[in-house]
Amino acid sequence: MESGHRFDAQTLHSFIQAVFRQMGSEEQEAKLVADHLIAANLAGHDSHGIGMIPSYVRSWSQGHLQINHHAKTVKEAGAAVTLDGDRAFGQVAAHEAMALGIEKAHQHGIAAVALHNSHHIGRIGYWAEQCAAAGFVSIHFVSVVGIPMVAPFHGRDSRFGTNPFCVVFPRKDNFPLLLDYATSAIAFGKTRVAWHKGVPVPPGCLIDVNGVPTTNPAVMQESPLGSLLTFAEHKGYALAAMCEILGGALSGGKNDASGNVTNQSRCHS
C-alpha cells in the first residue's frame, strides 16, 4: 500500500541545507544541492529528489564525494571547454559548468562544455532549464559512471548506466519545450521509490538476475541484483551507447565502475 507524508517545501529546504552544512558544506554549496533536490520533488520526480540524500551521505562517508570542491578547467579553446568536476557535488559542478557554457554562448553564439569526474548531477532537465532561462537551446549527453545496471538489447547482464539524454528549446513568455529521459526504460531512482512504496514497476522495465522479466523493484535494490532494460529495445540501447561515447569517452571521463562506487552508494539517475 502506498503511503507518504507531506512537508512544507521551504521547511524541508532549510532542513536539507542543515544536513549538508553539518557534513561541512559551505552555505552556497548546501543551498545549491537543496535547491536542486527540492525542485526535483516539486516537479514530480521523487526519484531525483530528497530520496538521494542517504546515498550522498554514504558516498561522502566513504570518501567518494568531496565537499566544497569545484569544477576546474582542463582544456579551453574558444567556445569549447572541458571541466574536471573534482568529485564535487554534481549540483555544484553542473551549475558551474552550465554558467560557463552560457557565458561562452553569449560570447561566441555557441558553446560546447564537457564535464567529467563529478558526483551525481541529478535531474538533467534542471540544467537544461538553466540554459533555456538564458535563451539558449541545449543538448545534453550523459554517461553515468558507476556499477552498470542497464542490460543491452537482448542481453541479460548489466553493461550500461542509465545514461540520460536531454534537449531543451526556450519559448518566449512560456515554459520551455523540454525532453529529458534516461535511456533505460525507467530511471533507477524510480525503482527505489517503488521499492519503498511496496508497489510494482510497469512491465517491460526490469529483468531479474537470471534475465527473467519482472515488475518487482526489489531486483534493483536487493542482492542478487537484476538489470534495467533500455527503452524502445534496440533504439534505447543505441542511444545509451552514444551517450557513453559522447558524455564519457569524449569528455575524458570514465565509462566503468573502476572500483570507485559500491552497491551501497548507487547514485544513478
- List, as one string, the DSSP characters of 204-226: TSEE-TTS-EE--GGGGTSSSP-
How much of the chain exceeds pLDDT 70, in percent? 93
| CATH number of the domain enclosing 15 | 1.10.1530.10
User: What's the mean pLDDT in 24-44?
Assistant: 98
Residue bearing the bigger pLDDT, 172 or 262: 172
Number of domains in the chain: 1
Is the per-residue pLDDT at 268 higher than 60? no
Average the pLDDT over each of 87-91, 143-147, 169-173 and give the range with the smallest value: 143-147
In a domain, 55, yes or no: yes
Average predicted confidence (pLDDT) for the chain? 93
Distance CA 168, CA 166 (A): 7
In a domain, 35, yes or no: yes
In a domain, 171, yes or no: no
Distance CA 158, CA 155 (A): 8
The shares of helix, strand and coil residues in the chain, as percent rounded to the nearest 5, are: 40, 15, 45
User: What's the mean pLDDT in 180-184?
Assistant: 98
In a domain, 48, yes or no: yes
pTM of the complete model: 0.91
CA angle 260-262-266, nearest 5°? 105
CA angle 50-56-57, nearest 5°? 105
Q: Is the dihedral of CA 109, 119, 198, 206 positive or negative?
A: positive
